[in-house]
Amino acid sequence: MSELDLFAQLPADSLLEGLNPQQRAAVEYRGKALLIVAGAGSGKTRVLTHRIAHLLAKKEAWPSQILAITFTNKAAAEMRERVRHLLGESADGMWIKTFHSACVAILRRESERLGHNSNFTIYDSGDSRAILKRLIKDLGADIHKLTPAGVGAAISNAKNELADAESYARNVDQADPVARMIAELFSRYQAELRRNNAFDFDDLIGETVHLFRAFPDVLAQYQHKFKHILVDEYQDTNHAQYALVRELAQTASLTVVGDSDQSIYAFRGADIRNISEFEKDFIGAKTILLEQNYRSSQNILSAANAVISNNFDRPNKNLWTDSGNGDAIVGFTGYSAHDEAQFIADEINKLHHDGTNYRDIAVMYRTNSQTRALEEIFIRAGLPYRVVGGTKFYERAEIKDAFGYLVAVNNELDDLATRRILNVPKRGIGDASETQLANYAERNQLSMRQVLAHVGDLGFGPKITGAIQQLSDLLIELVAMARAEPVDVVLRAVLERTGLIESLRASRDPQDEARVENLEELVSVAREFQRNNPEGRLPDFLNEVALVAAADEIDDESGTVSLMTLHTAKGLEYDAVFLTGLEESLLPHRMSFITPGGLNEERRLFYVGITRARKKLHLSLAMTRTTYGESDASTPSRFLSEIPTDLIDWRESGATRAMATSRYRSSIADTQGYGRASSDHETGSSSYGGTPSAKPKTEWKGAISSVRNNEGLQLAVGQMVSHSDFGKGKVIAVAGEGNRQTAEIHFGSIGVKKLLVKVAPVTVIEE
């Protein structure tokens, strides 16, 4: 029986049951190119998986002829599981992969054409920075204030545009010494990667495109293999990813799914034009809009629709649901960031008391710096939480050390891995010895691993020579073991025979106990990999771990509240969502005011945050926020004025309740564009979608009404004041001037309070 015949008995019509008309049209369409504009929560994964199953049920493709591409391993695993549920084990023949894992699979087979062997290492950003740090030091480039992170970002941006080191050097301003130095670092960095038989993350896609363009026979092989290509989250593709899809889709049927309203990764090189201009790129393409939402209540969707409608150049898409209006959105204006955090903690306690699991609650923010106040209050309140995207498991030093050994075993050309493990755990091999080994390697055109076997020629003393020889012998034994044994057995041997575990257990540092636990958890990861991949060996395990993304590390079963940036939140959903710091210069971020397209992208980011919520949505801001040690008055985010007032139930803390004045409201309108349209830099047109004189649909009163403005008030030591909450007090100290003046005021039994004068609810008591 052929592969295709396995699906002859699949009831194709049953795959259409339960789909709405637009979803059904997307599943059944058979043209050359299809764009599915999938609004948040509109069931795009269901459409993709049912489209795949329908192709097979109608005997229009074999499983091996289908390539489905996602952005995270988590999304790929979910798609595989859903297709397997529909089709059974035969679904395993399909390529359902991330962009990077698909390219790794291709490069493993074809890497020799590019001058690499198939055991190449994949460097993460930390590995890349380590190399760049050394190169910057070697070249003396630090005199230009160049940093590994800054140079790495420049190289990454170039690779995402498919520029190699040579073309980059040709196009830099030769009169600019910094630009020339970055070009030189780029060239040396690539030479180091090649010498180490390694690719970085950006290379995985760029080198695959280069492979296809340089070797037409390889491209033809994969074009023949894949008859149907499906790409998820197409709005997030950069130029290199776009080029990869274009190369493969020349002879295939192409389906892309995405939503320009959720394009939020321009800083990573994502190009919104890839989706907005899809019909220009693929002549004759059909577009289908999915607008029915299966996630959120109508009140949440109405807020999202109202906000995003102010962006120009987008599909006329309006999310709706038949599940009812749901609860009102809760808005909160706090006096300070800690006041805001306390409100969030109190609301989470109420939600949990009423039956919401902690894991179904998320707090989202624009910048990582906002977590400080949240964490302080959560700790005091005894709330279980985790910061998603903090120090990740695979970035911990002890985990990187263990992987250093595994990589050195797998790829003897990887000098970075060998350098890492030379003296881990400590075996008396210092920096001078490492430099001597590196110099010998360079003179003799050997890798660091190969030099270890020649240690007798380097003139070291017996102690260092013996230590290096033992390491070399151990690596040789581990190489043989890795060819025959499961990954978890190899890893356990690494941990025990190198002394990594023993040295940590012998330590008196309490943190080393946690490090031992992390290494034990790594063994568990390896065992789970082996269970899921019985035939898998060390190279396969290293592949899988190297491609783990931040979103993949989120454990849905964890009983903790998730704290995360709005960028990290993409693709996730929770029963209750708290969007915090809704203030000008935070959201929208201050950098968006000077970045072309920046305000539109910030609005899309807010839209993404809103649409993560299933049942409960909370919006909050603080009237004052401390930045770089200075407390400043905050201005409510312009995006709040775009939400109809009848959708939000605004609340305020005791410290803010009596702080409203009409003068402050008018000052905001005059300076920040409230009550009138404000222009986005990139278009010169109204952010409300009309002319510069256009008015918002509704007057916004919520958060502004709870903010005080003492414009021009300056306090002096000795003055008596009245505070709306604390009563009478005496000024005992002042600092700063103008809007930044702070005052320490003694309020009798309450004690001393330090207040920002501009917004404090105080009036001077005239004697």
pLDDT digits (tens, 9 = 90+) for 118-147: 889 999 888 898 899 999 988 888 777 888
Pairing mode of beta strands 361-365, 253-258: unpaired
What is the Cα–Cα distance from 625 to 337, expressed in whole angstroms? 6
Alpha-carbon distances of 410 from 119, 379, 432, rounded to whole Å: 6, 43, 26
Contact present, 744 and 696 (Cβ < 8 Å)? no
pLDDT, tens digit (0-9, with 9 covering 90-100), for 508-564: 666 677 688 788 888 888 888 888 888 888 988 888 888 765 555 555 556 899 999
Residues with Cβ within 8 Å of 240's Cβ and at least 6 positions away in sequence, in order, are: 159, 160, 161, 162, 202, 205, 206, 209, 269
Residues with Cβ within 8 Å of 563's Cβ and at least 6 positions away in sequence, in order, are: 362, 363, 365, 371, 374, 375, 385, 386, 387, 388
Residue in the block written with tokens 């004697």: 767
pLDDT on residue 51: 94
Contact present, 262 and 604 (Cβ < 8 Å)? yes
Alpha-carbon distances of 519 from 337, 349, 368, 393, rounded to whole Å: 37, 34, 27, 10
What is the Cα–Cα distance from 356 to 14, expressed in whole angstroms? 35
Beta bridge partners of 613: 574
426 catalytic? Reply is no
Q: Please name the amino acid found at residue 6.
A: L
pLDDT on residue 234: 93
pLDDT on residue 83: 84
Contact present, 438 and 455 (Cβ < 8 Å)? no
Catalytic residue (one of 65, 237, 262, 333): 262
What is the Cα–Cα distance from 389 to 393, expressed in whole angstroms? 10
With CA atoms as reference, report the closest residue to 6 among 54, 47, 48, 63: 63
Residues with Cβ within 8 Å of 286's Cβ and at least 6 positions away in sequence, in order, are: 29, 31, 33, 34, 35
What is the Cα–Cα distance from 84 to 354, expressed in whole angstroms? 37
With CA atoms as reference, report the closest residue to 340 among 576, 603, 634: 634
What is the Cα–Cα distance from 491 to 502, expressed in whole angstroms? 14
Q: Strand, coil or helix: what is 20?
A: coil
Catalytic residue (one of 110, 202, 203, 233): 233
E strands in 711-764: 720-723, 727-735, 742-746, 752-756, 762-764
pLDDT on residue 695: 31
227 catalytic? Reply is no
Residues with Cβ within 8 Å of 366's Cβ and at least 6 positions away in sequence, in order, are: 565, 566, 581, 586, 587, 589, 605
What is the Cα–Cα distance from 319 to 299, expressed in whole angstroms? 11
Catalytic residue (one of 3, 28, 32, 45): 45
pLDDT on residue 673: 35
pLDDT on residue 679: 34
Average pLDDT over the chain, rounded to whole? Answer: 84
Work out the percent of the chain whose per-residue pLDDT is above 90: 49
Give the chain's count of helices (H) and strands (E).
Answer: 27, 22
What is the Cα–Cα distance from 602 to 740, expressed in whole angstroms? 28
Beta bridge partners of 589: 585, 586
Catalytic residue (one of 24, 44, 97, 159): 44
pLDDT on residue 577: 98
Catalytic residue (one of 492, 612, 616, 625): 612
Pairing mode of beta strands 385-387, 561-565: parallel
Task: Kindly give the parts of the chain with pLDDT less than 50.
Answer: 1-4, 6-8, 628-629, 655-707
600 alpha-carbon distance from chain centroid:
19
pLDDT on residue 549: 55
With CA atoms as reference, report the closest residue to 721 among 711, 731, 712, 713: 731
pLDDT on residue 146: 87
pLDDT on residue 269: 84
What is the Cα–Cα distance from 480 to 537, expressed in whole angstroms? 12
Alpha-carbon distances of 692 from 265, 675, 677, 683, 696, rounded to whole Å: 28, 12, 6, 11, 11
Alpha-carbon distances of 34 from 69, 98, 249, 704, rounded to whole Å: 15, 20, 12, 45
pLDDT on residue 508: 67
Catalytic residue (one of 124, 192, 202, 232): 232
Q: Strand, coil or helix: what is 762?
A: strand
- The CA radius of gyration of the chain, in Å to the nearest whole number, is 29
544 catalytic? Reply is no
Residue in the block written with tokens 């609810």: 761
Q: Please name the amino acid found at residue 369.
A: S
262 catalytic? Reply is yes
Pairing mode of beta strands 613-622, 329-334: parallel
Contact present, 755 and 689 (Cβ < 8 Å)? no
